Chains A and B, each alone.
Chain A
Amino acid sequence: MPYLGSEDTVRELRRHLSNPNVQSDPLRYRSSILKVIRAMSQGVDVAGLFSEMVKACATVDIVQKKLVYVFLCSYATLNPELSLLVINTLRKDCQDPNPMVRSLALRNMVNLRLPSLAEYVEQPLSAGLRDRAACVRRVAVLGWAKLHNLQPASEIDAAVVNELYGLLRDPDPVVMVNCLRALEEILKEEGGMAINKPITHHLLNRLGQLDVWGQCEVLRVLQRYRPQSESELFDILSLLDASLVSPHPPVMAATLSLFLVLCPDLPAVSFAALERVRGPLLAACGSASRETRFTALCHIQLLLRSLPGLMGAHYKRFFCGYAEPAYIKQRKMQVLVELVNDDNVAMLLDELRGYCTDVNADTAQAAISAIGRIGRSYSDQCLQILTGLLGLQQEHITSAVVQTMRDLVWVCPQCSDTVCSALEGCEETLQDSQGRQALLWLLAVHGERVRSAPYTLEGFIDGVRGEASPGVKMELLTTTMRLFVCRPAETQDMLGRLLHHCIEEETDMCVRDQALLYYRLLRCGMEETRRVLGGRRSEPSLGVLIGRPAEPISQWASSFNTLEPLKQGAGETETTGRASPQHVTFDLDSDLSDTLNSGAGGFSFSPAGVQAPPLTLSLSPALSPEEFERLWTQRRAPPAEEGAEELDYVCLEERIRCPAVPHCSPQSLQAAMQLVNIQTLAFTAAHASPWRVYLYTHAQQAARSALILGQLLYAGEDEDEDEAGLSEGPSPRGREEEVKVTLKQRPRDEKALQGFLSILTAVLHTLPFNTH
């Protein structure tokens, strides 16, 4: 067949079909027709055979009839005139004693999709609605929907609509479901069929007789129903409870969807429903069909957005099978990242570590970035694994690890020490531009702590001529500039060479422009350069110890059981970016940064009233949350010993009047603190009571450095004195607007502490009043 042109094929087939000898032999005739259909489904244009096929339609052989109808329905729209010839045969068949012939004729009459035939079709359709055989009624009901969509402009016949409503009580379940479908289509403009109480209850009562597909259809239609009373609602819910745990995933998903729509105001009920579907969803995750597995995984991700603890105990069900395709493995890893907790973190990381050496590079990279995500809460274990992977010295693994480390350091500044020491020497393994960009970014931000940073850069700059990626070149420019600011002696020479190359020889405009910008910036002087380049080193909007807040169910309820969740690419891990965070200074709420800038001369680095060398705050060396906790509790020593330690450290408590603080969002608080180099380490959510923030910084004044740990406490209107413990008695007025500040410093340095306190006060006063 493929060697014949379609014209030859058609000619050959026509010869066969019109050969009287063939026509007289039913078997040969049928096989000729088969050939036509075969050619048709292979994509050959056989429209030219229409008239021959019309003739073949008049037969008693049902199989032949069916074949011819397949052909006619495909080509009728091209031959409306010739199709008129068929209609007589079809109408005659509609009177046939055999219900199968009747339903076949009725179905194909409408499937011809010819508006001009509508007048011939209506009468058999009306008769079909009252046919004895259920299979004819099924076809007739849907036939009306087809007919309506053929002539959308035509009036809806109220009598037909009424008849269709009446057929909702048909004994045949498929006829009933088809009525629903037809009415939904016919009454689309009016917003679909009326779903009132009697219809709803009728449908619910017949749910048990329907097959899986019918149940799904009914459940979907019922989403529009609003129960009139709470007791009715609960009646419906308890009726549907059995299908919520149905072993058929379509029914389970449709029921849950209905649950979520019916009770948006009853979160407890919705959460209970989510708990109920856990079993069936997990079963679907282990289904033999990989597509079903994938769908279930995507929907589990939705559920986890609102109920992060839902699958915690079942994390092993999300371990990847060896032979599973990469896209399922990646989804499973995304789910695993969500499920991590103190009990399973060791097992999970062990499992994920195994995937990192997967033959499939995509899977390996996904596993590495999953470890990075877990690293945000369990940084030590994860960094250990990631550093170990660098030892493999494999190109794609090293690249993924460096990118992951970059993302991790951006949100967890306390990891930077480990990362810096791990970076040494991995530039030799890195080949792809993504990985090298990530390495350069890390060197730019933490270059002062990587011993070999200038040598690494030198290697890059020597090879810049052969560098193809403009992204790497631009990153290289920025990195060299930033390293120049903190290590001028080692980098001056290579910076000169790099700028020269990029300005004189580079052809990519973006790279050249950036080089020119830096060149001009350097001419403005070192102070200016430092000010422009001194970007931030970590994500400003992240609370370290708070997990992702649980979203309300309504956020995703409407996309549940649609194709939407399956389409969202690799999801959240991808949004954190395969691109390095920008080196620009973070764009704060404009009013906040204005206030800070205008006040900067007044307080920030040389607090008024303290005529001393200027006070600088610095974030490094970084303090891990565990370290902070140890130091904090250690300094809560009993007061008796305080005298002995007097020299070593000081504890200070102060109350600051600041109405905005407990109401402002964690993001803006952290952003504000970051601006003056105070690291917030942990905080409770906004509006929580008591509301706390832990923070630290290193105060440097005239070559002396002191670590300051701080706690902000706002206990709310009914402040509990015993709990606060260290308070020195309530202030008489405006107590609810005060934030208690507890500061601990080592070594003792009163002036620096006072200076810090004034900075802190100033920052707190600039906070925007954020009422959600």
Chain B
Amino acid sequence: MISQVFILSSQGDHLIYKDFRGEAGSDVVGVFYEKVTALTGDQPPVVMNHGDLHFVHVRQGGLYWVATTTADSSPFTLIEFLNRLAALVKDYCGSLCEKSVQMNFALIYELLDEVVDYGYIQTTSSDVLKNFIQTEAVCSKPFSLFDLSNVGLFGAETQQSKVAPSSAATRPVQSSREQGGKSEIFVDVIERMSVVIGSNGVVMKADVEGEIRVKCFMPSCSEMRIGLNEEFSIGKSQIRGYGAAVRVDECSFHQAVRLDEFSSSRILRLCPSPGEQTVMQYQLSDELPSAPPFRLYPTIERDSGGRLLMYLKLRCDLLPRSAAINVCVTIPVPRGSVSVSQELSSPDQSAELKLQSRAIEWRIPRFPGGTQLSALFKLEAPALGPAPLMEVGPVVLAFELPHLTVTGLQIRFLRLSPVQPGPSQRWIRYVTHSDSYVIRV
């Protein structure tokens, strides 16, 4: 049961406030902000209480999404609801940020009115909601250099016209209805990998969490069929076909997905509702089908002048035709480090010492597969501790792998029925993110 819902900006501005049950005054908004900003880093902020009133909040898009409730409510329900609410707002407003929420507050009030009544969640399905929501989204189109150049998906330099611009999917769902927006459908396969590689190069942990997300801007779409790899198998024992099997450990589907053709030919059937939805989620632990994408060969020593020399060789083990982009290597350095001088192998890379996080950040905008980069960092640290080498590392990599899934999951085809009248576009996008890619040194 939800007593109030409010949305605050990160500076504490009241963006949206809705009281469903009249049990507490609006002054709790201020109380919440004081509490949440007074927390130190290690205190769990998700649930806080003020007398009998409990605050449950999530952070999305740099905003606080808060619900107040009583102690016996289910935290899973509340958090899932707030996340869902944020997703709905994103669907309806196009993007999720302070500005879009501010501009579309009327729309958000309308949404809240339909989604929750008297503190009880009524529906969050965009199929149902589309009949009730009347306000149109106000879309901000800030001037951006990205619109001018033909920069492709996820910033990748793919100059082909068959690639949608990366901002294509950040638009309000409803514009497709009246404003004659293009009727499009996006199917994204997104994987997040978390890997730990030991100092001896052994992969100690490798997990992949993946999902297939459908974002639909079709005015009418009765059924969609998504064909996955035929060799797709779930669990350890099951092996299909003769080719390289695409295996996941566990797999779950959105409840609207019909699986009658899944076991025979790996086809998901569903009627996409407008907006974004996660059609399938899957996990793979401990066994990657291919080598981990990056390896690091570090040499670290102290020179006579008290400096710390770090020679890093980083190899990208992807196939030569693919590349990692926006690679950021974070190398924690010992306390007392003052400055760093660097020798990098190409001018587009950059590196700097972040004193606040005590780490060197080495940025590589594009890193093609099968290549190797090296960097030499000379760390000036006048007051080094007795064991500085123990303080170096673990090295963390953040990156994106566009057009690639680590598990090898592919979408064979995407069919819509009935066949759409007029031009409609179907986009399939693959991307793998690093959730946490740690290499011990």
Q: Specify which of B19, B54, B122, B207 lies most central, judged by the most chain A CB atoms within 10 Å of its CB.
A: B122
Q: Which residues of A contact B438 (CB under 8 A)?
A: 322, 354
Chain A nearest CB from B280 CB (Å) reads 9
Q: Which residues of A contact B15 (CB under 8 A)?
A: 41
Which secondary structure dominates chain A's binding surface? helix
CA distance A322 to B57 in the complex (A): 23
Q: Which residues of A contact B79 (CB under 8 A)?
A: 289, 291-292, 295
CA distance A736 to B423 in the complex (A): 91
Q: Is B225 an interface residue (CB 8 A)?
A: no
Considering the complex, give the chain B residue whose CB is closest to the CB of A388: B390
0/1 per residue, A59-82, Cβ < 8 Å to B? 000110011001000100100000
Residues in A152-174 with C-beta less than 8 Å from chain B: 174
Q: Is A18 an interface residue (CB 8 A)?
A: no
Q: Is A735 an interface residue (CB 8 A)?
A: no
CA distance A146 to B134 in the complex (A): 26
Q: Which residues of A contact B83 (CB under 8 A)?
A: 289, 291-292
Q: Is A52 an interface residue (CB 8 A)?
A: no
Residues in B198-216 with C-beta less than 8 Å from chain A: 198, 204-205, 207, 209
Q: Is B72 an interface residue (CB 8 A)?
A: yes
Q: Which residues of A contact B41 (CB under 8 A)?
A: 325-327, 360, 362
0/1 per residue, A123-167, Cβ < 8 Å to B? 000000000000100110010011000000000000000000000
Q: Are A563 and B73 in contact (CB-based, < 8 A)?
A: yes
CA distance A231 to B331 in the complex (A): 61
Q: Are B14 and A394 in contact (CB-based, < 8 A)?
A: no
Q: Are B121 and A359 in contact (CB-based, < 8 A)?
A: no
Q: Specify which of A77, A366, A394 lies most central, judged by the most chain B CB atoms within 10 Å of its CB.
A: A394
Q: Is B147 an interface residue (CB 8 A)?
A: no
Q: Is A294 an interface residue (CB 8 A)?
A: yes
Considering the complex, give the chain B residue whose CB is closest to the CB of A61: B134
Q: Is B163 an interface residue (CB 8 A)?
A: no
Q: Is A324 an interface residue (CB 8 A)?
A: yes
Residues in A215-242 with C-beta less than 8 Å from chain B: 216-217, 220
CA distance A347 to B385 in the complex (A): 27
Q: Is A213 an interface residue (CB 8 A)?
A: yes
Q: Specify which of A327, A347, A569 lies most central, judged by the most chain B CB atoms within 10 Å of its CB.
A: A327
Q: Which residues of B contact A113 (CB under 8 A)?
A: 22
Q: Which residues of B contact A725 (CB under 8 A)?
A: none
Q: Which residues of B contact A569 (CB under 8 A)?
A: 43
CA distance A392 to B334 in the complex (A): 10
Considering the complex, give the chain B residue whose CB is closest to the CB of A330: B42
Q: Are A295 and B75 in contact (CB-based, < 8 A)?
A: yes
Q: Is A663 an interface residue (CB 8 A)?
A: no
Q: Are B80 and A317 in contact (CB-based, < 8 A)?
A: no
Residues in A72-104 with C-beta less than 8 Å from chain B: 74, 77, 100
Q: Specify which of A66, A363, A562 lies most central, judged by the most chain B CB atoms within 10 Å of its CB.
A: A66
Q: Given A327-B42, A567-B47, A253–B76 Cβ distance below 8 Å?
A: yes
Chain A nearest CB from B49 CB (Å) reads 7
Q: Is A323 an interface residue (CB 8 A)?
A: yes
CA distance A254 to B74 in the complex (A): 8
Chain A nearest CB from B5 CB (Å) reads 12
Residues in A199-218 with C-beta less than 8 Å from chain B: 211-213, 216-217
Residues in A32-58 with C-beta less than 8 Å from chain B: 34, 37-38, 41-43
Interface hit among B88-96, B104-112, B303-311, B373-381 = B104-112
Considering the complex, give the chain A residue whose CB is closest to the CB of B1: A181
Q: Are A562 and B207 in contact (CB-based, < 8 A)?
A: no
Q: Choose from A38, A322, A357 the contact partner of B390 (Cβ within 8 Å).
A: A357
Q: Is B277 an interface residue (CB 8 A)?
A: no
Residues in B140-198 with C-beta less than 8 Å from chain A: 192, 194, 196, 198
CA distance A283 to B285 in the complex (A): 11
CA distance A295 to B78 in the complex (A): 11
Q: Which residues of B contact A70 (CB under 8 A)?
A: 109, 113
Q: Is B346 an interface residue (CB 8 A)?
A: no
Q: Is B317 an interface residue (CB 8 A)?
A: no
CA distance A247 to B42 in the complex (A): 29
Q: Are B135 and A357 in contact (CB-based, < 8 A)?
A: no
Q: Are A146 and B118 in contact (CB-based, < 8 A)?
A: yes
Q: Are B77 and A250 in contact (CB-based, < 8 A)?
A: yes
Q: Given A142-B117, A283-B281, A326-B42, A249–B76 Cβ distance below 8 Å?
A: yes
CA distance A354 to B49 in the complex (A): 34
Q: Is A351 an interface residue (CB 8 A)?
A: yes
Q: Given A563-B75, A566-B75, A174–B54 Cβ distance below 8 Å?
A: no
Size category of the binding interface on chain A:
35 or more
Q: Is B297 an interface residue (CB 8 A)?
A: no
Q: Is A561 an interface residue (CB 8 A)?
A: yes
Q: Is A748 an interface residue (CB 8 A)?
A: no
Q: Given A63-B134, A289-B83, A34–B106 Cβ distance below 8 Å?
A: yes
Q: Which residues of B contact A216 (CB under 8 A)?
A: 74, 77
Q: Given A107-B117, A327-B43, A391-B387, A247–B252 Cβ distance below 8 Å?
A: yes
Q: Which residues of A contact B394 (CB under 8 A)?
A: 354
Chain B nearest CB from A117 CB (Å) reads 14
CA distance A393 to B391 in the complex (A): 11
Q: Are A37 and B105 in contact (CB-based, < 8 A)?
A: yes
Q: Which residues of A contact B430 (CB under 8 A)?
A: none
Q: Are B286 and A316 in contact (CB-based, < 8 A)?
A: yes
Q: Which residues of B contact A325 (CB under 8 A)?
A: 41
Q: Which residues of A contact B440 (CB under 8 A)?
A: 354
Q: Specify which of B79, B196, B391 lies most central, judged by the most chain A CB atoms within 10 Å of its CB.
A: B79
Chain A nearest CB from B178 CB (Å) reads 13
Q: Is A279 an interface residue (CB 8 A)?
A: yes
Q: Are A561 and B110 in contact (CB-based, < 8 A)?
A: no
Q: Are B77 and A213 in contact (CB-based, < 8 A)?
A: yes
Q: Are B58 and A291 in contact (CB-based, < 8 A)?
A: yes
Q: Is A178 an interface residue (CB 8 A)?
A: yes
Q: Is A288 an interface residue (CB 8 A)?
A: yes
Q: Given A286-B207, A359-B359, A563-B56, A250–B42 Cβ distance below 8 Å?
A: no
Q: Given A391-B386, A392-B386, A319–B205 Cβ distance below 8 Å?
A: yes
Residues in A347-402 with C-beta less than 8 Å from chain B: 347, 350-351, 354, 357, 359-360, 362-363, 366, 388, 391-394
Q: Is A548 an interface residue (CB 8 A)?
A: no
Q: Is B44 an interface residue (CB 8 A)?
A: yes
CA distance A113 to B22 in the complex (A): 8
Q: Which residues of B contact A250 (CB under 8 A)?
A: 74, 76-77, 80
Q: Choose from A63, A74, A286, A394 the contact partner of B106 (Cβ within 8 Å).
A: A63
Q: Is A730 an interface residue (CB 8 A)?
A: no
Residues in A242-290 with C-beta less than 8 Å from chain B: 247-250, 252-254, 279, 283-284, 286, 288-289
Q: Is A639 an interface residue (CB 8 A)?
A: no
Chain A nearest CB from B136 CB (Å) reads 9
Q: Is B371 an interface residue (CB 8 A)?
A: no
Q: Is B125 an interface residue (CB 8 A)?
A: yes
Q: Are A247 and B75 in contact (CB-based, < 8 A)?
A: no
Q: Which residues of A contact B69 (CB under 8 A)?
A: 563
Considering the complex, give the chain B residue whose CB is closest to the CB of A562: B72
Q: Is A564 an interface residue (CB 8 A)?
A: yes
Q: Is A331 an interface residue (CB 8 A)?
A: yes
0/1 per residue, B333-348, Cβ < 8 Å to A? 0010000000000000
Q: Is B71 an interface residue (CB 8 A)?
A: yes
Q: Which residues of A contact B293 (CB under 8 A)?
A: none
List the 5 closest pairs (A to B, CB-CB), nearest first.
A321-B436, A247-B252, A362-B42, A327-B44, A213-B121
Beyond A212-B80, A322-B438, 5 additional contacts (C-beta under 8 Å) are: A142-B118, A289-B83, A291-B83, A316-B286, A323-B436
Interface residues of B (CB under 8 A from A): 13-17, 19, 22, 26, 40-47, 49, 54, 56-59, 69, 71-77, 79-83, 105-106, 109-110, 113, 117-118, 120-125, 131-132, 134-135, 192, 194, 196, 198, 204-205, 207, 209, 250, 252-253, 281, 283, 285-286, 330, 332, 335, 357-359, 385-387, 390-391, 394, 396, 398, 435-438, 440
8 pairs, A vs B, C-beta closer than 8 Å: A66-B134, A70-B113, A247-B281, A279-B250, A291-B82, A295-B75, A563-B54, A569-B43
